[in-house]
Structure 1
Amino acid sequence: MITKSKVMSLTMAIALLGTLLAGCTDNNTAAPSTGNSTANTPKGNDKKEEKTLRIMSGVIGGKTPEENTLFEKEIERLTGIKAKLDKPASDYDQKLLAAIASGEKFDLLQISKEKMNLFIDQGIVTPLTDQVKASKVLSDPEVLPAGEWDQIKTKDGKIYGVFTKFQGGTMPIVRNDWLKKLNLQEPKTLDDYYKVLKAFTEQDPDGNGKKDTYGLSTAGMYELQGIFSAAGLKQRYVEKDGKLDVPYSTDAAIPIYEWLNKLYKEGILDPNFATNDTGKMRNLFLTDRVGMITYWDAWVGMLNNTRKEQDAKTTFEAKGLPGAADASGKHMIRRGDPDVWVIPVNAEHPKTAFEFIEWWHSKDGIMLGSLGIKDNDYTESGGKYELTKAGKEHAMDHGVPFWYNKKVQPPFGLLPGVKEAQELVVKYATLELTPAKWADAEKIINENSFKAILGEMSAADAVKKMREQLKASKLID
């Protein structure tokens, strides 16, 4: 396990590495792919590159080491590029930092926007603005909508990364079949949510004659944005007049903590919420123990599909909600930080890397990232696709469960409820501001939030203490 001190050491090493690379790369900005503008093509780097890539990825690739090898071969079959894919089985961020700090060279990295911002500050990744603008593929709004680029542009409008997939958002997910069974309306306000969750707890929605259900379960404070929406509060940082603040630590959050404490005291909130992981939370939902959870839009479809696979006649129906409306009727849910491809400044094959990024957004690239490997995960004949046993197990997700390209339609359609949930994301979800110090702030927020919800401290005192600790640690301005 890498300790906090080691991570800090790695970060310092990365900063040093960035400085060294910036001084020895002969102005090595990545050249545009074949057929695009040659703007920013580095001198001495116009010779033909070997079609080889070394890629490091957290989720893109095979599900096992053996399948990862097949994934590499499939890339070569489809593109002619010999790819070496480094996909750690766990602790991706730590291993990524360690690899870069030790001087390992990669042509492509799959990272989060948060990590991209860190790497930009340290001079580790190549600006791609000109290449993206010159790319007929990436500048096509049918492939990547123009408005989406604002998610990943820097303040000065530069582009350093290109989306690996459509990143969804988080929201309350309700047992819609329970709403129908109990003749309840879909909740809109916080009062509505209370009434629905109380009914889920007390009116035997699973029909087993026992009082063994809860209204709401969470995995700690994970994705309660849809509840704090009632007070118009974002989960992470906000910036105003150049100052950073965390809305969950403000007085405006006190009524929400008091509301959650009320659920806990009345047995409406799963008593194990503070120690749940997301797997336990989902399992409660799937086994008729809880009527609402807070999770990702994609899981609306996966939850529905899981129950359908178990019982074709099930009445189970998960549905995404836009969160509780605030006093002005507005809803607020969270958009996930985009995952992006970036090209390190010391990449040995930057032209090939950019060609690959363009290809990744083509039909072949999308099918590989979603369905997986032909003849391993699926078969295809005459445009008709069929999943293999392995393909069904892999749930059409090899790093790209959803994509932007409107010219490529899912061969099996979307899972039930996903389309509607994604529409909520597009309509109501916004990105969070996640600076490097968020992890430290989150610990303080969670510790005090739990005390408020569990009734170990009044909500007002918990917020006061939370704020004092954040200020003392210089985590808010």
Structure 2
Amino acid sequence: MLKKGLKSSLAVALSSILLLTAAACGSTSEEKAEGSAPASGSPSTAGGSTAETKAAKPKELRMMVGVIGGKTPEEHTLFEKEVERLTGIKVKMEKPGGNMNDKLLPAISSGEKYDLIQVDKPLMEILFDQGVLMPLDDKIRASSVLSDPAVFPANEWKQVKLKDGKRYGIFTKFQGGTMPTVRQDWMEKLSLKEPKTLDDYYQVLKAFKEKDPDGNGKDDTYGLTTAGLYEIQGFMSGAGVKAGYVMKEGKRTVPYATEAAVPVFEWFAKLYKEGILDPNFATNDSGKMRDLFLTDRVGMVTYWDAWVGMFNNTRLQKDPATTFKAKGLTPAEGPDGKIIMRRGDPNVWVIPVNAPDPKTAMEFIEFWSTEKGNVLGTLGIEGQDYTVKDGKVELTQTGKEHSMDHGSPFVYNTKWKNPFGLLPGVKEAQELVLKHGTLETTGSSWKEVEKILNNYALQAMQGKLPAAEAVKKMDQELRAAKLID
């Protein structure tokens, strides 16, 4: 958690900056920057006289980003230089890796200053609760780019409104959703029908385990693997259970910790006992899960719609004649026929209240939301990831390996169309998300909830603890910690 005095210390620091600036030139730093050209996705130049232009401080931004940027440290440096070439803004994009919360929260609590931070909605909510985020409604309304419904549909903005009804984030990309992802070529080889219910899913996964679809004659293939509880919502749907917090009669509930979830935990325990579920699922990270899928060791994983295309593209790049085919599946139907699919939390840019240069930060956000920014976030760097000759865009071998994803594989902006279209299988997967996907509600206390869920759910899924007892213990501990009502 952040230090309790952070909000006041940021306010003091910000006040000091304003006083010093006023004493020096009689204006705030933002007023002083009014001569700067508005963001347009093109290199910007300072306004005013030639003498003022020469004296103007070069525009610089310090950011912390999660997935935006280069795929390697070397390419990340090239990415920063490409931003400067396109915008005239010198950027430092710090990419901590691992759990961003573990790096960002201590950095902010110690008083470090960032102009821009890339976060998901749960982290935005934590920062909002600490009072360290700048509201952006006025800036969004004042921007012809950001307020354009062709760039960001009006109905999407409700996703980033927080408790006070204001917007504190601006989308970095279009966020998809998670779903069961299957080896469709194995389905076809074994003449299996697409599963609809939990029992249907069991029959498909059992066939993958027993009928050697990879053809290597070894007993090393599993029907399903996950990365712990990530992302089992597609199967919880079969019991009508939704992840996260669900409000019932004004009270917080966690459906995964209720009797309704017992049949699904028992279903997993059955898979585990019969050797259908990868025995290492509980300790897998997402990388290990992906590797098993790409190396013919498992027939189904639970992951993002974008990865349906990236799975297919990865294998195609290695072998253009491959029969490998990944496909996103509709989650299991609930008792009432309803399907519950997770739509990913919005991923956004936020500006801290102590940001040194919020005006330039907004210029960058506008650039990122236009065609030039869209190209950078998807295709990547010109000359590195793609080339343009006689108006024709071609991916380099590096660009092909990077799967047109430099932090923003899909964009809202309908004014720009990716010249290569979507990777194989993505369109169909996205259609499932748009049809069935809904946001989950978590919040700043969710990490504490997850620890309790993981402890007992994983034991239940491995048959180490009866599922009914597991959810009872979850409920008791969540109540004791005042994490549910």
- Does residue 453 of structure 1 match 2:472? no
Question: What is aligned with 1:246?
Answer: 254
Change in Cα spacing, 1:169 to 1:21, as seen in structure 2 (3 Å) is: farther
Question: What is aligned with 1:3?
Answer: none
* C-alpha distance in 1 between matches for 2:16 and 2:80: 31
Q: Name the aligned partner's letter for residue 12 of structure 1.
A: K
Question: What is aligned with 1:41?
Answer: none
Q: Give the CA deviation at 1:408.
A: 1.2
Equivalent position to 2:371, from 363, 373, 380: 363
Change in Cα spacing, 1:228 to 1:293, as seen in structure 2 (3 Å) is: same
- Unaligned 5+ runs, structure 1: 1-7, 37-46
- Does residue 258 of structure 1 match 2:266? yes
Check the 8 A contact 2:314/2:401 in 1, yes or no.
Answer: no
Question: Residues 144-195 of structure 1: CA distance to partner in whole angstroms, max 9, x if unpaired?
Answer: 1222111111244311110111111111001111111121110111121112
Question: What is aligned with 1:14?
Answer: 6
Question: Residues 363-395 of structure 1: CA distance to partner in whole angstroms, max 9, x if unpaired?
Answer: 111111222222222221233222234333333
Question: What is aligned with 2:95?
Answer: 87
Q: Name the aligned partner's letter for residue 296 of structure 2.
A: D
* C-alpha distance in 2 between matches for 1:410 and 1:204: 39
* C-alpha distance in 2 between matches for 1:181 and 1:56: 46
Question: Residues 12-60 of structure 1: CA distance to partner in whole angstroms, max 9, x if unpaired?
Answer: 3534435545766769998999679xxxxxxxxxx99863322222222
Q: Name the aligned partner's letter for residue 380 of structure 1.
A: V
Question: What is aligned with 1:286?
Answer: 294
* C-alpha distance in 1 between matches for 2:199 and 2:232: 16
Check the 8 A contact 1:227/1:323 in 2, yes or no.
Answer: yes
Change in Cα spacing, 1:338 to 1:409, as seen in structure 2 (3 Å) is: same
* TM-score (ref. length: structure 1): 0.89
* C-alpha distance in 2 between matches for 1:323 and 1:422: 13
Question: What is aligned with 1:136?
Answer: 144
Change in Cα spacing, 1:216 to 1:30, as seen in structure 2 (3 Å) is: farther
Change in Cα spacing, 1:293 to 1:157, as seen in structure 2 (3 Å) is: same
Change in Cα spacing, 1:183 to 1:141, as seen in structure 2 (3 Å) is: same
Check the 8 A contact 1:18/1:122 in 2, yes or no.
Answer: no
Check the 8 A contact 2:317/2:401 in 1, yes or no.
Answer: no
Question: What is aligned with 2:157?
Answer: 149
Q: Name the aligned partner's letter for residue 409 of structure 1.
A: K
- Unaligned 5+ runs, structure 2: 20-27, 40-51
Change in Cα spacing, 1:26 to 1:196, as seen in structure 2 (3 Å) is: same
Q: Give the CA deviation at 1:318.
A: 0.7
Question: What is aligned with 1:398?
Answer: 406
- Secondary structure class of the residue paired with 2:348: strand
- Does residue 216 of structure 1 match 2:224? yes
Equivalent position to 2:111, from 92, 103, 119: 103
Query: What RMSD, in angstroms, separates the aligned Cα atoms of the two structures?
Result: 2.5
Query: Which is worse superposed, 393-402 or 313-322?
Result: 393-402
> Counterparts of 1:51-62 in structure 2 under 5 Å?
51-62=59-70
* TM-score (ref. length: structure 2): 0.88
* C-alpha distance in 1 between matches for 2:447 and 2:400: 36
Question: Residues 244-297 of structure 1: CA distance to partner in whole angstroms, max 9, x if unpaired?
Answer: 221100011111111111111222211221122222222222222221111111
Question: Residues 318-371 of structure 1: CA distance to partner in whole angstroms, max 9, x if unpaired?
Answer: 100121011221111111112211112122222221121111111111111222
- Secondary structure class of the residue paired with 2:300: strand
Change in Cα spacing, 1:372 to 1:439, as seen in structure 2 (3 Å) is: same
Check the 8 A contact 2:310/2:423 in 1, yes or no.
Answer: yes
Q: Give the CA deviation at 1:210.
A: 4.2
* C-alpha distance in 2 between matches for 1:17 and 1:319: 51
Question: What is aligned with 1:329?
Answer: 337
Check the 8 A contact 1:21/1:124 in 2, yes or no.
Answer: no
* C-alpha distance in 2 between matches for 1:160 and 1:264: 43
Query: Which is worse superposed, 10-19 or 407-416?
Result: 10-19
Query: Which is worse superposed, 58-67 or 109-118?
Result: 58-67
Question: What is aligned with 1:44?
Answer: none
Equivalent position to 2:361, from 342, 345, 353: 353
- Does residue 313 of structure 1 match 2:321? yes
- Secondary structure class of the residue paired with 1:450: helix
* C-alpha distance in 2 between matches for 1:75 and 1:289: 40
* C-alpha distance in 2 between matches for 1:51 and 1:247: 49
Question: Residues 86-110 of structure 1: CA distance to partner in whole angstroms, max 9, x if unpaired?
Answer: 2334453222223222222222111
How many residues were matched structurally? 459
* C-alpha distance in 2 between matches for 1:29 and 1:124: 19
Change in Cα spacing, 1:240 to 1:29, as seen in structure 2 (3 Å) is: farther
* C-alpha distance in 2 between matches for 1:34 and 1:326: 54
- Does residue 191 of structure 1 match 2:199? yes
